[in-house]
Homo-oligomer: A and B are copies of this chain.
Amino acid sequence: MSIATLDTSQHHNLPTSAKTLFEAKAKKKVTFEEIAQKLGREEVACAAIFYGQARASPDDIKNLSELFGIDHAQLEEQLSGFPDRGKSIEMPPKEPLIYRLYEIVQNYGYAYKAVLNEKFGDGIMSAIAFSTKVEKETDKDGVVWVNINLRGKWLPFTRF
C-alpha cells in the first residue's frame, strides 16, 4: 500500500502543522482512509487538514494526537488557529492530476453555470457550506473510474 507523503522542500507556504502531521503519517504508514475512520470524517477533509485547508475540531486534534502519538499540546497549538486557505497551490496548477480538475472548470465552467441557473435560479453553489468525497468504481469491463462528488448549498443572490 502506498502512502501519500509531503516533501516540505517543495512547498514553502504550508503551515507548521503540515510538516508535523505528514512526518507522523509517513513514520506510522497510515493512509487517509484509516485517518478518516479514526476521525469520522471524509478522506478529502482529512487530507485538507494535513495541507492546512480545513479546520480541525478539538476532537480531531485529540484523535490525531492519539493516532500518531504526537504531544497534544503541540498539536493543539499548531492546529487550533483558523486555516489560512489557498496557500497550498499556485494557479494554474502544474501538477497533472490537479490540472485535470482545473481543466474541467476551464472547459465546462459556463456549461455548469447555464445548467445551474436554469435549475436553481440566480445564485451560486457554495464552496463553504460544502462537502466532497471520492469513490472508486470498477466497471464490468474491469476499467477503473474515479467518482468525485461535490455537494454545496445553493445560495441565491439577495435582492437589495
User: A: which residues have CB within 8 A of B?
Assistant: 1-7, 9-10, 12-17, 26, 31-33, 41-45, 47-48, 50-55, 57, 77-78, 80-89, 91-134, 136-137, 143-160
Name A's interface SS.
mixed
Expressed in whole angstroms, the Cα–Cα distance for A55 and B26 within the complex equals: 17
With A100-B126, A111-B53, A148-B125 as contacts: A94 and B120 at CB distance below 8 Å: no
Expressed in whole angstroms, the Cα–Cα distance for A113 and B13 within the complex equals: 18
With A7-B16, A160-B131 as contacts: A77 and B26 at CB distance below 8 Å: yes
| Copies of this chain in its oligomeric complex | 10
State the 4 A-B residue pairs at the shortest beta-carbon distance, nearest first: A86-B94, A131-B160, A47-B111, A5-B81
Check if A114 sits within 8 Å of B4, measured CB to CB: yes
Check if A154 sits within 8 Å of B146, measured CB to CB: yes
Partner of A7, one of B15, B119, B131, B133: B15
Q: Kindly provide the distance from the CB of A18 to the nearest chain B CB, expressed in whole angstroms.
A: 9
The 10 listed contacts between A and B (C-beta, < 8 Å) are A2-B82, A2-B121, A3-B118, A5-B80, A7-B16, A54-B157, A96-B124, A100-B152, A148-B150, A155-B155
